Structure 1
């Protein structure tokens, strides 16, 4: 008994000694006293370590008592060693001073980020904290360096660098819409900081840190999205070191755009950032003008070592001239008129405003589990009065139609995601589970304006005298359309072996289109329509096999549905479209991990594709009601994409790609409006290609000098409408639009805090067209010059 007692006492003492531990807490500063973020602090001969946060702070917990050597490392900076003593159940504090200044560290951050290829980086749009190499789908990232180098003005400038995504239309200059792998983006596929945004405005580019594209299926993560891809715009975030930039951009056709960006700490726990801009510009199109105001404030709260809260908002006001381009002749060919000719009225207008506010909460329970939560509100409204689609007869005669609208939308969204890492035996799991909900409340007002304005001849403007007055128009009707959505999803990325990953998951989505309410604004009488409900499960499965650390093959399958809003010509609700997506590919990192070369092949089948109905029920009268839709039949999209991205040499940035896509109508709808089998879907080219190469000279005598070349190609595509079964029109409704290439050249110089950058776009002055509204055609911009002068502090 005595021996047993002695044994137990010794056992308890050993357990106590073994359990003795403490914590190390500290901050890292640059040589000039500013907080240093993302510095690696590790304990020599131990697996424990941490990264410093935006405020330079770090914590290492459960460290054995005794004396330890800290290894402080930072890509491109000198490694430091510092000794610290840890006592039982106590916090040892330490201050670490690097030998580099904040500006030197900022250069190191940029170069350090470039050592990680696109395949090695996790992206927020994927909702999993894993490298893109581990995901069974294609990904694209356009970072702030490329956004600045190309002096992007609109999202269409960014999309030129994203292989397989292209601008499909630009309705009257009101909004840009994009296609990916043959299928159109909508508001459902556009996100800012993870929250859906209305695509009725042209988002401001100066506030963006990067643009992320998740190609292929994203339904399990984001619900009722169209197939092809989703896009997330990530805005600039607050920082705990003071800095910023002021710049002035000016260019051809009256472009004038001053911008400011300021960030810094309020105290050790709160940081801020404010950026904003004003822009005014004319156009290469006569009588077309634009004016924009934008501001984007944000606050970051470090609530604890494990919790941070980001509060942000923005406001955009855009006033501009709607421009429906040069139009078509007899619905069979593009009008042969000068690029600058404007056929609208001198008074037509569009005034849009968008306000957003959001709160993002991130909490880390421990090293394995974390929570991300987000709440967002958005208000959008548009006041619009203009002539519209330019469809002249064979002689050029065109009766100008009028449209007066006012739309407003309130949009609420909330989502919660939980990420967890754990093991079952030797198998590693990376689990994502979440729930999201959103609600739209849209109100559309209609007016009693005349349906037509006057008659002109687009081939000879002297034939008719044009009106100059603004017709009276008053509100007569409003339609309120509430929509609610809820989704629950779970997926698991299972690492079976170091080489083999399997991704499996499922989402349940419920969508409720509440009964629209139409109100007669003269009598006050209300008419209630019919409610519509859709629900579905969306499964996803994928596999990734790593032949070696820098090479992986993947394959995936997903099934989803897209609800189709609106009614058909018989006033019946449209059924949802069911979508099957298959994808295979290969991801590679070359040049010691500095250059990614990825290849993807895909097949996407939509069982019944919906588009705006070309005509009213009689099959002859053109339809101007965007709520009137037609199911045209089954579509099949097949293609291959090649993506090249990286920094193969010091100072050299490369983005390039080629895509082949063929989207065809495979089966006709069982309702009126079914399209002809075998035709390629309008607005989609078979071939696109892009290449952007920028080089910053590294030699001391010329350091700071940079130049770049951008190339963009979009192949032949069709304007007009796809032909339908038993159509009333006796002509081919497709208009072939030839492919075209543009070439841009950029040069700049940076000296200390100053920089100047100039770009000549479309050097060859290529003349081609953007297609919008089917028979309305807008010519692309001619050669333009843009310059930016900036000062960073």
Structure 2
């Protein structure tokens, strides 16, 4: 702690000195979260001539605080960043994050089908770390994400590639950050009702405005009650998020942010089905998509989580500002599940196992940073210097036991009460991580050179060992990037970055994981159409990348609830993405990505050369939406989309001969119809409208998960 206190004093002295240097007066056209809330949102406006203009001002992104922790424009960031704005979420009617990435390059979602609890994602072949308002969510080696509801957020920022120089311990594939809805001084809000397939029922709303001079507030809430596409499965969720902004003075603002979410899933989740009958032919027949091989009266999932914190900003001068983000979080889940664990030679008798699991995490995190603008001769500098701290504790427990067999095609459930086996401790770990980072974006005319570096000090304490053990995992990471922005808005760039990932868990046998390290080369070009006029908004990117990660974690093929640690992964590929909005009528989302992610070194010879699980080589998507603004059909619109995913393995091989349980390539179609008038939006959205039946993923002989079936959801939104 003495070392870190000294670092903070050094930061303050450096920034005080920077403030005395000449100020560079170059414009930054990125948008803060507050500005997005004030100016964004899908809104219908009726003109004097009867025309209805449906505006979506932030459909096309120009900036993302996640990219550089500054308001620098996306086009100046030497790294791929995808932003899924609230305008896109509303127009395409996405319900969760893994749906929202359907039209995003390099990101694969819904890896376990329509999971009712979590958002399963892969970015460039790797599981990304989840952030909420710039602070890492309390995830662990057993929790990929916390499943927070998408309705509470204004945007999803996906920073692809290494993010360690700004965020510390992160995987080389990248991170995604959710930006909460913020208070606005302008009174407004909405009430929304949804109803759809599988008895999907949801009511949600948000309201904001100025309470008194200098104090604004927002309250966002949601309640959802739905069935799963698996028989006898229901899910309920309640979510509430208050936020209050205090204008303490002309240069100081404090925004308090909180959320609470409650989840209950009854009956099962979605999957653990035999590959024979789902992925492969079964001589007895095909497995029905809604089949439930668990115990509907025994299986359940419970989760509660909350977060409370604030964002404090203070402007010392036009050249120097300070931001502090702070949050406490608490996450608790418990599940009881009887699931399929084997298929007999008759291809219909399924053996089952009983697996109760509990996980509790608590976390305190704080990020302090100074942002300075100044010039040294002809060079304009944007310097960011920060210090962050994270104190994380996880305790988990599980048990395994046998359960009765069941018929794959005619299941008969138990009528007697089933007792869950006693849990045994699995992890009891504390992580304390300190990070000191600095970044300089140096601009000479149209050329921007970005240099950044970070030193992390991490200490992992494991309490289940005798004696208690502590491991220090310190690491320095860095990034260098160069961008040239032409007057036409074309920006070629190149960058090199390193990454560092602290692994706090252990193998099923209790062996602690060692840290993972990575490095990435990326080169690409961005285009923002700045010279095409105010009625044309678009942002396009194309990038080549190569990532190398040492000591990665992969799903254990012999125990799918656990991880193993193997030697090296190499992921390389190409991504192209286009987001456009034309004349407030036509919206286009298009993407293509090629991802060649393989294990190149492993202690298990069958894994060498194997592709990463749940990562299709090719992903292509296009969605086009048009709204008529004049005539008798003014306000009516519709859109259609197509998505293609090539085949992807569900698991890495660990035995000879290797069975990869590869999901086949699939082409899916989506569609929407909507009607907008001032104050109202009515929409019907359909995904997989031709009801393609396919396995989203199979990670073993009885580890198959059906992908989302056809889903039709109607939405009525009243805006005020």
* Alpha-carbon offset, residue 306 of structure 1: 1.1
Change in 2 beyond 3 A, CA 1:713/1:479: same
**Distance in 2 separating the partners of 1:307 and 1:535:** 35
1:421 maps to 373
1:364 maps to 315
Change in 2 beyond 3 A, CA 1:49/1:515: closer
* Alpha-carbon offset, residue 684 of structure 1: 1.4
Aligned Cα RMSD in Å?
A: 3.2
**Distance in 1 separating the partners of 2:430 and 2:27:** 52
Cα deviation digits, residues 87-136 of structure 1 (max 9, x gap): xxxxxxxxxxxxx99x9xxx99956546xx53x43434431221111110
2:93 maps to 151
2:578 maps to 644
Paired residues in the alignment total 669
Cα deviation digits, residues 686-738 of structure 1 (max 9, x gap): 0011222222222254332221223222110112x3224xx4xx542211210
**Distance in 2 separating the partners of 1:557 and 1:323:** 41
2:328 maps to 377
Cα deviation digits, residues 572-591 of structure 1 (max 9, x gap): 43322221100000112344
What TM-score does the superposition give when structure 1 sets the normalisation length? 0.79
Q: Which has the higher contact order (CA 8 A, sep 6+)?
A: 2
1:668 maps to 602
* Structure 1 SS opposite 2:366: strand
The 8 Å contact of residues 141 and 210 in structure 1, kept in 2 or not, is answered as: yes
**Distance in 2 separating the partners of 1:762 and 1:361:** 44
**Distance in 1 separating the partners of 2:30 and 2:614:** 48
Matched, 1:196 2:148: no
Cα deviation digits, residues 260-296 of structure 1 (max 9, x gap): 2111111110011001011101122211110111111
1:216 to 144, 161, 175: 161
Change in 2 beyond 3 A, CA 1:122/1:453: closer
* Alpha-carbon offset, residue 529 of structure 1: 3.8
1:388 maps to 339
* Alpha-carbon offset, residue 438 of structure 1: 0.7
* Alpha-carbon offset, residue 772 of structure 1: 5.9
2:712 maps to 785
* Alpha-carbon offset, residue 631 of structure 1: 2.4
The 8 Å contact of residues 435 and 489 in structure 1, kept in 2 or not, is answered as: yes
Change in 2 beyond 3 A, CA 1:472/1:573: closer
The 8 Å contact of residues 168 and 684 in structure 1, kept in 2 or not, is answered as: no
**Distance in 1 separating the partners of 2:33 and 2:662:** 53
Task: State which drifts further: 316-325 or 580-589.
Answer: 316-325
Cα deviation digits, residues 13-35 of structure 1 (max 9, x gap): xxxxxxxxxxxxxxxxxxxxxxx
* Alpha-carbon offset, residue 773 of structure 1: 5.0
* Alpha-carbon offset, residue 778 of structure 1: 1.5
**Distance in 2 separating the partners of 1:354 and 1:405:** 17
Matched, 1:748 2:674: yes
**Distance in 2 separating the partners of 1:572 and 1:329:** 31
Cα deviation digits, residues 167-208 of structure 1 (max 9, x gap): 2633964423211111112xxx11111111244542212222
Change in 2 beyond 3 A, CA 1:167/1:536: same
**Distance in 2 separating the partners of 1:451 and 1:602:** 45
* Alpha-carbon offset, residue 570 of structure 1: 6.4
The 8 Å contact of residues 30 and 74 in structure 2, kept in 1 or not, is answered as: no
Matches within 5 A, 1:216-295: 216-295=161-240
**Distance in 2 separating the partners of 1:734 and 1:536:** 35
The 8 Å contact of residues 332 and 733 in structure 1, kept in 2 or not, is answered as: no
Matched, 1:712 2:651: no
1:603 maps to 546
Matched, 1:183 2:126: yes
**Distance in 1 separating the partners of 2:410 and 2:435:** 55
1:25 maps to none
**Distance in 1 separating the partners of 2:549 and 2:26:** 50
2:13 maps to none
Cα deviation digits, residues 571-628 of structure 1 (max 9, x gap): 443322221100000112344563222110000011232224334xxxxxxx3663xx
* Structure 1 SS opposite 2:70: coil
Matched, 1:680 2:611: yes
Matches within 5 A, 1:98-117: 110=55, 113=58, 117=60
The 8 Å contact of residues 435 and 457 in structure 2, kept in 1 or not, is answered as: yes
2:441 maps to 493
Cα deviation digits, residues 452-505 of structure 1 (max 9, x gap): 1111232x436x77565221544565753211111111011111x212111111
The 8 Å contact of residues 354 and 420 in structure 2, kept in 1 or not, is answered as: no
5+ long unaligned stretches in structure 1: 1-45, 57-73, 76-99, 519-526, 616-622
